[in-house]
A and B are shown apart, each in its own frame.
Chain A
């Protein structure tokens, strides 16, 4: 699905990531961890074509990202659901329309019945808040709305960057259960987090692999977590 080969990325100053090789197989569940500023977000962005590697190769669905046109990237994002730590919405539209936005921009709004949207709202527990505007939501509600928006197109891959960064323990457990459920439905999941207890909690339910970024490189973390 997502395949990184000897990837390096440097900002103006110096190299942030180097010699990264990574393969996300279909149906796998990966955690990405590491100290803040170590490049977790940058690695996530490389995985959905928001950044191009300085050197090495990134292949998304067997296509080199450098060969993608802007429209190709748009099409690709319909197959990759992304949840940011600071999720952004269209603040003038209600939550339900924000969640359905990927369907509208891909011209598929007519195929999907509103019943599906209701199911999805129920699944993330936002049925009551469907008519609210995004600025009125709490941190946890925003994260769940972002997750619902990320999965409404039934993508093959879910990338979540610190999805539990702004929420309390109970809420992070709820979000995690949603991600585990998606993984059981066959979706590939990559979650960036620095919360080790979250990783431990997940291990009890599903087989996960933990990747750690240290010294600009990526390592497979031991089973001791």
Chain B
């Protein structure tokens, strides 16, 4: 598919220079097309970054977090140790549990530090013990585990995170959808803009077209002269816009692992850095098709 598009572009772009010269050069409008293609490519880079980042987020919340759960043991201080051990025993024999471990006092203190400050002596408070449960790929039967815990460990509460995970996954998926919709809209606006510019160029060159028709030029020959121009302008403009957009994304402040959030994660990762490189050829293809349709329609209305 990509090879076919490239071949099509190459064959239409490499024809002789003379064919290009039959249409007089146009200064200002050409720059407008370049600018608009560049601006659209710049926006497309951000729409892509948003879509991909939202996609990553949805995947992480939907997949990685789905495979972890927490059990909270809230029992009187003298029974906590025993109940924690009982819960761990149950987990060992539960299908779908990969591993489970009780958090140490130090880890729990670290988790609470953002809320209570680091100076708080946790042992003076009745803090429940947390057990981190990592599930296997197949997942565990949360309802069954809950029943067993209720029977044997009265102070245990199982939280599989689904309560707060679901709306987040939903929001991230919706954000991804919005990002892709924006990308499609940007492509459509590019097509509309190239069509307008091409129609203006065709109208401005009515005499050129009638001379060419008179001396025996086919519609295809005349159309190519316009198509080549607009395809090249879209390609060059979009390439410049894409480079600027990527630089802007590169310069976004980045959070480290602890402070990473959705906003600081807005960017490309790994192979996704290659995605924006598709914008210029796509813009060129859109311009090629739009100019071709506009030229055909105009030429067929002439004698």
Contacts and interface: CB of A to CB of B under 8 A. Distances in A.
A153 B208 contact: no
Contacts of A101: 22, 211-212, 215
A71 B216 contact: no
Interface stretch (A6-14, A103-111, A167-175): A103-111
A92 B21 CA distance: 9
B229 to A, nearest CB: 14
B300 interface: yes
B219 interface: yes
Interface string A73-87: 011111000101000
B213 to A, nearest CB: 7
B11 interface: no
B25 A74 contact: no
A51 B303 contact: yes
Interface in A105-130: 105-106, 109
A2 B207 CA distance: 27
Interface string B196-222: 000000000001101111111111110
Contacts of B216: 74-78, 102, 105-106, 153
A93 B21 contact: yes
A90 B22 contact: yes
Contacts of B300: 70
A112 to B, nearest CB: 13
A212 interface: no
Given A51-B303, A88-B210, A105 B217 contact: yes
Contacts of B211: 88-90, 101
B32 to A, nearest CB: 20
A78 B214 CA distance: 9
Contacts of B215: 77, 101-102, 105, 149
B124 to A, nearest CB: 90
B301 to A, nearest CB: 11
A50 interface: yes
A91 interface: yes
Interface residues of B, number: 24
Contacts of B77: none
Nearest to A71: B218
A203 to B, nearest CB: 30
B303 A74 contact: no
Contacts of B16: 104, 109
B259 interface: no
Contacts of A109: 16, 18
A74 B303 CA distance: 10
Contacts of B217: 74, 105-106
B184 interface: no
Nearest to B19: A104
Interface in B1-46: 16, 18-19, 21-22, 24-25
A203 B219 CA distance: 40
A75 B216 CA distance: 6
A84 B214 CA distance: 10
A104 B18 CA distance: 7
A97 to B, nearest CB: 8
Nearest to A51: B303
A109 B16 CA distance: 11
Nearest to B210: A88
Given A51-B303, A71-B219, A74-B219, A93 B214 contact: no
B303 A90 contact: no
A75 B215 CA distance: 9
B208 A90 contact: yes
Interface centre among A76, A78, A89, A101, by most chain B C-beta atoms within 10 angstroms, is A101
A82 B303 contact: no
Contact of B221 (A51, A93, A105): A105
A90 B300 CA distance: 21
Nearest to A134: B211
B214 A82 contact: yes
Contacts of B18: 97, 104, 109
Interface centre among A70, A84, A91, by most chain B C-beta atoms within 10 angstroms, is A70
Given A71-B219, A90-B208, A109-B18, A77 B24 contact: no
Name the 10 nearest CB pairs between A and B, nearest first: A105-B217, A78-B216, A77-B216, A92-B24, A102-B215, A74-B218, A50-B303, A104-B18, A88-B211, A71-B218
23 contacts: A50-B303, A70-B219, A70-B299, A74-B216, A77-B213, A84-B214, A88-B207, A88-B211, A90-B208, A91-B207, A92-B25, A97-B18, A97-B21, A101-B212, A102-B215, A102-B216, A104-B18, A104-B19, A104-B22, A105-B215, A105-B216, A105-B217, A105-B218
